[in-house]
Amino acid sequence: MNWLKRKFALLVKMFEALKDKDYDRFKKLIRRWIFGMRFTDGLLFKIAIYTLLISLGYIYMYPMLYMVTNSFMTVSDIISVSIKWIPSRLNWENYRLVWTTINYPRALRDAIMLAGLPAISATVSSALIGYGFARYQFPFKRLLFVLMIMTFIVPPQITMLPMFRMYREYNLLGSVRAFIYPAILGQGLNGAIYILIFFSFFRMIPKSLEESAQLDGAGPFKIFTRIAIPLAVPAIIIVFLFSFVWYYNETYLSGLFLRNSDLFTLPLRIERFFRDYTSIYPEGSQARELMQAAKLAGNILAILPLLILYFFTQRHFVESIDKTGITGE
């Protein structure tokens, strides 16, 4: 607002200059108006910034907008050339189709369990591990730390084959335990990142707090639960949110480990439903055309819980990284 006020004051000054027929002054003022005192507060600069932001924002949101608007379209809307963005009427049919055929409430419950339990395990374990790395000196600490970070680079394909065999041997395939066990040992999806988040967070907490607790006779574990954990609430929220979202969206490992069970992540379930559905109808039939919109509706339903979650917690998501200092200081 201040900026606008200043610009307005300048405008007034310019009029005065015009009235006094002081053209030199007017020229100077108008230059200041456009380019500003040090370029970054000039009009030109602001216009450039907002134009860039808005166009980049549009590019970012384009697929999302496309998904939302097209999911409401009827068959005739999709075929029609004149309708590109706004459907002719709000058509909930696509949503109803997906909702009933995949039994959405049950599918959602499964999906939340599949994402939630591993996310909780990952949060607990990475808090412990991150605290160990951040607070204690022990032999080979550097080596272990580097190994920990290396696990992030190893693609899941490498570990997948033996893990598949291991899980089959112990009958873990098709059960949520296939995800909980690695998570509880700090090896879950993107586990290294969570440990890193906790590591840098615990390092920021002043050591004197813990030392005074130690003087009062608290053991290491008590210090961890009573002092470190309450201070690390932001990190806990962030790690939980991130791991929840990543597990929720995970399709590669879950596609493999849960292959022959009736447990699915939501995106997988919807994908599977459509694969079955498309095989029934021949290419080019009406039902096939409807599929396009219905698929988008299905995808929206798949990410809807995340949208709601994001809507309520976006502050944590977005501030997380500078707060927890994942950036490595």
- The site that binds another protein (CB under 8 A) totals a number of residues, namely 97
**Binding of residue 248 to another protein (CB under 8 A):** yes
CB 124, CB 229: distance < 8 Å: no
**Least spacing, CB of residue 201 vs another protein, in Å:** 13
- Of 26 and 273, CB closest to another protein: 273
CA gap 132, 214 in Å, rounded: 16
Sign of the four-CA dihedral 55, 56, 57, 60 = positive
Instruction: Confirm or reject binding of residue 144 to another protein (CB under 8 A).
Output: yes
Query: Of the two residues 91 and 249, which places its CB atom closer to another protein in the complex?
Result: 249
Q: Is 278 in the site for another protein (CB under 8 A)?
A: no
Q: Which of residues 17-76 bind another protein (CB under 8 A)?
A: 38-41, 49-50, 52-53, 56-57, 59-64, 66-67, 70
Judged by CB under 8 A, the chain residues 87 through 116 that form the site for another protein are none
Report the 10 Å Cβ neighbour count for 289: 16
> Could you give the CA distance from residue 144 to residue 149 in angstroms, rounded to a whole number?
9
Residue 34 C-beta-side C-alpha neighbours within 13 Å? 5
Minimum CB separation from another protein for residue 160, in Å?
Answer: 7
| Residue in 107, 195, 108, 115 with CA at minimum distance from that of residue 147 | 195
Q: Show Cβ contacts of residue 90 under 8 Å, excluding neighbours closer than 6 positions.
A: 72
Residue 238 binds to another protein (criterion: CB under 8 A): no
Of the candidates 136, 143, 206, 280, which one interacts with another protein according to CB under 8 A? 136
Which of residues 204, 278, 310, 316 is near another protein by CB under 8 A?
310
